[in-house]
Amino acid sequence: MMDPAEKERLARLEARLAELKKAEAAPERSHMDSHYSQAQLAWRMVIELVSGLGIGFGIGYGLDSWLGTKPIFLVLFILLGLAAGIRVMLRTAQEVQGQQAAAAAEDEKRD
């Protein structure tokens, strides 16, 4: 026969073992998954920058040809498109950084 303190200790041990088994059963992200997600993030940022430049070029070229001016609006809107692309890239980087910080905090909470 076991005393109540021993039963309680055994129940706590079984609960911890079940928690650890559940944590092990959770699928871990492999190195390849992490690599692909980083590559996708890099391509997303490149596309954001290039699209900002392309939209700025299109607007500037359109205004220059419509108004009969040559490089004024083209240069202006290319610079504005570059600034907009960089701003969107920085916002994306902050979003990813926040997600990684939340994931790290959750990992520390589990430990």
pLDDT per 10-residue tile (average), the chain, 111 residues: 82 88 68 72 92 96 93 96 95 89 82 62
Alpha carbon distances (Å) from 63 to 56, 68, 77: 11, 8, 10
Rg (CA), the chain: 27
Q: What is the pLDDT of residue 52?
A: 95
The one-letter amino acid at 104: A
Q: What is the pLDDT of residue 30?
A: 60
